[in-house]
């Protein structure tokens, strides 16, 4: 049986312990062999990141060095086209083959808005989708179109992700951490400490390149 790989994309502007904890808890809860972080180059669904893509990629690579289960894919940063998840998953399918289970990791907010994504229905043919829920946060209500597509695909247990390479939806719980990239950017702009919110290696990089000031 081929081991499952988790796919975790984002702007990572900057990457912080909330991102890394989600990756670690997903790896454990979903029995994933590896997590692939994919910093977006040109995210189409939100405002342009504050920091150039090459810096966000470098920070993600620094953050991943301490965990052998996490790797960083630079392809979206290196691409001249917008960072659409469906195109990234198509590329990974070509690289990894049709049989390996791929698990796209999404927060509950991102999943609730999935129906606004480019070619979103095709995502289910390319990967499973695992939805990270934070205890104490109210559930997000998906659109009718998303509910109709996702509800028949709901998996009752992790083992359901191993029987096929794609097509299931599985919620999982994660530890709530009140850390966000916007909070870190605001504290840095104000000259306040962000120690223990992100890895020291990332903080050193931010300081040496005078980011977020």
What strands lie across the sheet with 70-72, from one edge to the other?
70-72, 34-39, 5-10, 102-107, 128-133, 169-173
Q: How far apart are CA 212 and CA 163, in angstroms?
A: 45
- Which residues, in sequence order, are CB contacts of 92 under 8 Å at separation 6+? 7, 36, 102
Note the pLDDT of residue 167.
Answer: 97
Note the pLDDT of residue 80.
Answer: 82
Number of H helices, E strands in the chain: 9, 6
Please state the domain extents for the chain.
5-208
Note the pLDDT of residue 136.
Answer: 67
Angle at 126 between CA 19 and CA 30, to 5 degrees: 45
Note the pLDDT of residue 3.
Answer: 87
Per-residue pLDDT of the chain (213 residues; tens, 9 = 90+): 688 999 999 999 999 999 999 999 999 999 999 999 999 998 877 677 899 999 999 999 999 998 999 999 999 999 988 889 999 999 999 999 999 999 999 999 899 999 999 999 999 999 999 999 977 667 778 899 999 999 999 998 999 888 899 999 999 999 888 899 999 999 999 999 999 999 999 999 999 999 998
Fold of 5-208: Rossmann fold (3.40.50)
């Amino acid at each position: 049986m081929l081991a499952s790989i988790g796919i975790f994309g984002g702007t990572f502007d900057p990457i912080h312990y909330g991102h890394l904890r989600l990756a670690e808890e997903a790896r454990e809860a979903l029995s994933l062999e590896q997590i692939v972080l994919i910093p977006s180059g040109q995210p189409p669904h939100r405002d342009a990141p504050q920091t150039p893509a090459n810096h966000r990629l470098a920070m993600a690579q620094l953050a991943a060095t301490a965990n052998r289960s996490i790797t960083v894919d630079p392809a979206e940063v290196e691409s001249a086209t917008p960072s659409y998840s469906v195109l990234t998953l198509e590329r990974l399918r070509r690289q990894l083959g049709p049989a390996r289970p791929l698990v796209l990791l999404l927060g509950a907010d991102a999943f609730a808005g999935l129906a606004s994504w480019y070619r979103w229905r095709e995502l289910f043919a390319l990967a499973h989708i695992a939805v990270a829920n934070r205890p104490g946060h109210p559930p997000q209500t998906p659109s009718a179109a998303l509910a109709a597509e996702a509800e028949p695909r709901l998996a009752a247990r992790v083992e359901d992700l191993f029987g096929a390479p794609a097509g299931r939806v599985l919620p999982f719980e994660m530890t709530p951490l009140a850390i966000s990239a916007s909070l870190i950017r605001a504290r840095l702009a104000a000259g306040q400490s962000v120690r223990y919110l992100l890895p020291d290696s990332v903080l050193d990089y931010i300081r040496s390149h005078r980011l977020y000031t």
